Amino acid sequence: TLTAGVIAVQGDVSEHAAAIEKAAARHDRTVEVVTIRDAGLVPDCDLLLIPGGESTTISTLLAEEGIDEEIRAHAAADKPILATCAGLIVLAADAKDDRVATLDLLDVTVDRNAFGRQADSFQTPLDLTGLDSPFPAVFIRAPAIDSVGPDVSVLAQWDDRVVAVQDGPIVATAFHPELTEDARIHELAFFAEG
Ligand code: GLN
C-alpha cells in the first residue's frame, strides 16, 4: 500500500483522493490517502498531490505550518508529485507575484490567471503526451506556463500556451484532472511504466 498525501491546507482535496484511488486500482495497487494540514505527515508519504485553490493562500499556509520544507525534502528524494492549477503555481520557480512564495521545485515560470476573467472557466479536449486520446481538461482561473527550463518536458499546450509539464517525478497541470472521472493523469504521474 502506497501512502498518498493530499495537501489540504486549502483547495479541492476529496476529488484528488478519489482520482488517486481510481488510478491505483487500475494498476492493481492500493493507496492510503492522508490529508495534510500540518507538518509531520509528508515524510511518510510515497507520493504527493498539491491541489488547485488559491496559490497565495496555499503558499502562505504551507510556510506557516512548515510543510514547505517537507515538500522540498520529498522532492529532493525524487518522490513523485502531481500539482494542479494553484499547485503548479506553488511549485514554480516564479509566479511573478510577490504574494505567492513559490517553492521553486519546478523550473517554469507561470502567469497567474492567464486565460482572463471572461473565459475564466472552460472545459476542452486536450492532446497530452503519453495519452492515446484527448483528456477532458477543466480550466478554472488557470495559470499558463510561460517559460520552461531545459530539463522540463512540455506535455500539453492549449491556445499556444503550455498547460502541462513533467520534470522527472514532478507532473504539473494548469487544469484540474481531478474534476473529471478520467484518472489517466494521476496514472501517468504515479503509475507510469518504465
Ligand atoms: N488562479 C488561482 C491562483 O492563482 C488558481 C486557480 C485554481 O487553482 N483553480 O492561485
pLDDT of residue 177: 97
179 CB-near residues (< 8 Å, 6+ apart): 12, 15, 138
- Give the mean pLDDT of 86-112: 97
| Length of the chain (residues) | 194
pLDDT of residue 193: 74
What's the predicted TM-score (pTM) here? 0.96
pLDDT of residue 135: 98
Whole-number Å distance, alpha carbon 28 to ligand 1 midpoint, is 33
**10-58, pLDDT tens digit by residue?**
888 999 999 999 999 999 999 999 999 999 999 999 999 999 999 999 9
Residue 55 Cβ inside 6 Å of ligand 1? The answer reads yes
Whole-number Å distance, alpha carbon 99 to ligand 1 midpoint, is 13
Residue boundaries of the structural domains of the chain: 2-191
- Supply 161's cell numbers: 500556451
- Supply 35's cell numbers: 490529508
pLDDT of residue 117: 65
Structural fold of domain 2-191: Rossmann fold (3.40.50)
Strand partners, 47: 4
Residue 141 Cβ inside 6 Å of ligand 1? The answer reads yes
Strand partners, 2: 31
Choice among 74, 85, 186, 187 that is catalytic = 85
pLDDT bracket for residue 137 (50, 70, 90): very high
Q: Show the CA angle centred on residue 103, arms to residues 181 and 160, nearest 5°.
A: 55
Residue 86 Cβ inside 6 Å of ligand 1? The answer reads yes
Whole-number Å distance, alpha carbon 80 to ligand 1 midpoint, is 22
Which 3-state string (H, E, C) describes 9-50? CCCCCHHHHHHHHHHHHHCCCCEEEEEECCCCCHHHCCEEEE
Asked whether the predicted pLDDT for residue 82 surpasses 60, the reply is yes
Pairing of strands 135-140, 121-126: antiparallel
pLDDT of residue 48: 98
**138-147, pLDDT tens digit by residue?**
999 999 999 9
Quick one: what percent of the chain has pLDDT higher than 70? 98
